[in-house]
Amino acid sequence: LQGAHPDRLLTALERDPAAASGFRPMAYEAAIARVASEIERIQGTYGNNAMAILSGASLTTEKTYLMGKFARMCLKTAHIDYNGRLCMVSAGAANKKSFGIDRSANPWSDIVNTDVVWISGANIAECAPITTSYVWDAREKGAKVIVVDPRITPIARTCDLFLPVKPGRDIALFNGILHLMIEHDWLDHDFIEQHTVGFEAVADHVKQWTPKRTAEVTGVAERGIRQAAEWWGAAKTSFLLHARGIEHHTHGVQNVLGAINMVMASGRIGRPNCGYGTITGQANGQGGREHGQKCDQLPGWRDISNPEHREHIAGIWGMDVNEMPQAGVDAYELFRKIESGEVKGMLSLCFNPKVSLPDSEFVRRMLEKLEFYVAIDFFLNDSARHADIVLPGSLQEEDEGTVTQAEGRVIKINQAIDAPGDARQDWRIIQDIARALGRDKGFTFDSPRAIFDELRVASKGGVADYSGITYEKIEAQNGVFWPCPAEDHPGTPRLFEPGSWNPVAKGAGPFYFPDGKARFNVAPYTPPAEDVDAEYPLILTTGRVVSQFLSGTQTRRIGPLVDQYAEPRLELHPQLAAQLGIKHGDWVTATSRRGEITLRAEVVRTIRPDTIFVPYHWAGEKSINRLTIAAQDPISKIPEYKVCAVRLSKAAAPPAYASSLEPQQ
């Protein structure tokens, strides 16, 4: 479906305004030479940091490692970040603050035998069907399932208790639940005393979150809050899952900290059938955030500002540590640096920023402002249409490598077919650029296995230690859970078990702090960056639908998926539709302070009356990110995709795109 698609890039392309498509074919080696020449020109004129790299979490871990090394060793630029900045970083920051490590605490098999499953902000039936099967197995065994979401998603239709939280108010709900846990003494005092610090400050903070106040802020009925607290608090075993619904906020880290506080107060972590997990949004959402393509990170979940960590990685790479750049900035901030003139050139791989980032009109202008932009992809996505050079990359089945699942299990992808035409495996393209620059030291790998073997050494002794994982071991064990510090180590399916050892605590306790204890964190409620008012009285929230994925570059080219959901639709409640005189199928216009979009109305009873929902998988006139706000969490720098203020009206006329079909149609 993908490799043989007529849109598949089979040759390098060079921008040519005179060509009908805006591009003309170019020989691969000539394209590589042009890329190298432009990088040399830009860095020679403006400095190393004038070049920026955007990478992705759908790449194999080998490629993500290589991208970080390419930025810092070959280009010596601080400016690299990845599209996981739009996905899992709020969870990662909160996990690090609470546990000292960023990984789900338990294997998903622990879900099946738990008493209560709590799911916040995660449309798992449509976005994580394998996870859903574990939840449904637990339900069949008698588990209570609690779902928190502004929409009645498919998983919510099968749950025991649904809490329709107002977008942006999740932390108020978590604090309110903890308030009731304390009031009714649904606490594990031994666990809190022996394995945590900071509970007293959190307990004092949540005193204000009475059921009455929690209900007023969240929009959830008080009886629902009390029932959820009782089921969660009194359970013997439980598992909490969350995803972007609580993370895509200017207070996303605080939301996750609030969820973790609930888990730790119960003491139900670090033992069978009791756990906590964050659901990743891409195939390698976990592995993609561990080994160096984040702006502040080095392989093994090391900190680029830590002198010891820098020395270790510089030694592995054979480079002068003084030449290693310091921390860069997040993906959206890179576009602000284009605006200010600090960044002049960009290379992107597996990232479609024009569709994926908020305030997409600003992103479009910045892509056009770049002096040079090279995109590596297998289709000409909406961002690549602004590139000066497009290099034909590879699909997963055309390469081999590893990815790490949400539960922390490293698995392997085996190559099935060769890349067609002049398309190349992505890691070969990066090495070809390094060679053309005359900077190929450290970029002469002959296989993904060779890259992985260096990654193993680089990660050794780090929090994300892969040193004991080999391709053979992955296949023999059907995956290996990290950390795995030695080849005779079986891996670590369940974190934080009593008596477990880690390189930070060194026997002091199971958590990844010097004293071995987890941290409770006060998580205050703050309203969204842009709340409703008289001019913009409705909340817009965005998300996924089952038949589309990410920016739609692949799924909008697969006929059966397009047939299921050909274009974005705007979901609104019948009560709101009646107020505005809107009927199902009408063209409606949603307007924010940044732009407007006209879509067909889908009148549903599965959403709050004060909220509208639009999926984000489309580009151009169909892109909901024309409306979203670029406000970011101050810690994780994740954008606030889940809340912005809009107004809604019947459209004066259908949009221009209404007279045409999607190409695949």
Last residue of a domain, one of 264, 279, 294: 279
Residues 226 and 338 in one domain: no
Query: Is residue 96's pLDDT more than 80?
Result: yes
Residues 298 and 272 in one domain: no
Is 309 contained in some domain?
A: yes
Is 197 contained in some domain?
A: yes
Measured distance CA(585)–CA(61) in Å, rounded: 44
For the chain, what percent of residues have pLDDT higher than 70?
99
Is 368 contained in some domain?
A: yes
Domain count, the chain: 3
Under DSSP, the state recorded for 165 is P
pLDDT at 554: 81
Residues 562 and 634 in one domain: yes
pLDDT at 616: 86
Residues 311 and 399 in one domain: yes
Kindly report, residue by residue over 416-451, the tens digit of the pLDDT: 999 999 999 999 999 999 999 999 999 999 999 999
315, 317, 318, 323 alpha-carbon torsion, rounded to 10°: -90
Task: For residue 568, say if its preceding peptide bond is cis, omega within 30 degrees of 0.
Answer: no
pLDDT at 665: 59
**What confidence category does residue 663 fall into, taking pLDDT thresholds of 50, 70 and 90?**
low
* Over residues 286-294, mean pLDDT: 91
**What confidence category does residue 399 fall into, taking pLDDT thresholds of 50, 70 and 90?**
very high
**What confidence category does residue 662 fall into, taking pLDDT thresholds of 50, 70 and 90?**
low
Residues 264 and 310 in one domain: no
Kindly report, residue by residue over 173-222, the tens digit of the pLDDT: 999 999 999 999 999 999 999 999 999 999 999 999 999 999 999 999 99
Which among 309, 409, 401, 313 is positioned nearest to 103, based on CA atoms?
Answer: 409
Ordered strands of the 161-163 beta sheet? 161-163, 144-148, 116-120, 238-242, 275-278
pLDDT at 588: 97
Residue 59: CATH number of its domain:
3.40.50.740
pLDDT at 454: 98
**Greater pLDDT, 558 or 543:** 543
Q: Which residues, at least 6 apart from 579, have a Cβ–Cβ distance to it below 8 Å? A: none
Domain range holding 549? Answer: 538-659
Residues 233 and 366 in one domain: no
Last residue of a domain, one of 245, 264, 279: 279
Kindly report, residue by residue over 637-652, the tens digit of the pLDDT: 999 999 999 999 999 8
Residue identified by tokens 């369940």 is 494
Is 508 contained in some domain?
A: no
pTM here? 0.95
**Burial call 578-602: b when 16+ CB within 10 Å, e when fewer:** eeeebeeebbbbbbbebbebbbbbb
Last residue of a domain, one of 445, 470, 486: 445
Is 458 contained in some domain?
A: no
Residues 64 and 181 in one domain: no
Which among 570, 649, 571 is positioned nearest to 604, based on CA atoms?
Answer: 571
Three-class secondary structure of residue 12 per DSSP? strand
**What confidence category does residue 507 fall into, taking pLDDT thresholds of 50, 70 and 90?**
very high
Q: 79-93, 324-338, 546-560, 588-602: lowest mean pLDDT where?
A: 546-560
Residues 77 and 157 in one domain: no
Kindly report the average pLDDT of the chain as a whole number.
95
Q: How many CB atoms neighbour CB 607 within 10 A?
A: 23
What are residue 523's phi and psi, to 5 degrees?
A: -125, 90
Residues 268 and 298 in one domain: no
For the chain, what percent of residues have pLDDT higher than 90?
89
DSSP string of 627-662?
Answer: TS---B-TTT--B-TT-EEEEEEE-SS--GGGGS--
Q: How many CB atoms neighbour CB 25 within 10 A?
A: 14
Residues 130 and 260 in one domain: yes
- Per the CB < 8 A criterion, the answer to whether 201 and 522 are in contact is yes
Residue 569: CATH number of its domain:
2.40.40.20
**Burial call 82-103: b when 16+ CB within 10 Å, e when fewer:** bbbbbbbbbbbbbbbbbbbbbb
Return the half-sphere exposure (C-beta side, CA atoms, 13 A cut-off) of residue 383: 28
Is 526 contained in some domain?
A: no
Residues 305 and 379 in one domain: yes
Q: 278-282, 311-315, 601-605: lowest mean pLDDT where?
A: 278-282
Is 39 contained in some domain?
A: yes
Which among 349, 369, 313, 335 is positioned nearest to 82, based on CA atoms?
Answer: 349
DSSP-assigned beta bridge partners for residue 82: 55
pLDDT at 564: 84
Is 365 contained in some domain?
A: yes
Query: Is residue 664's pLDDT more than 70?
Result: no
pLDDT at 66: 98
Residues 167 and 314 in one domain: no
Residue 129: CATH number of its domain:
3.40.228.10
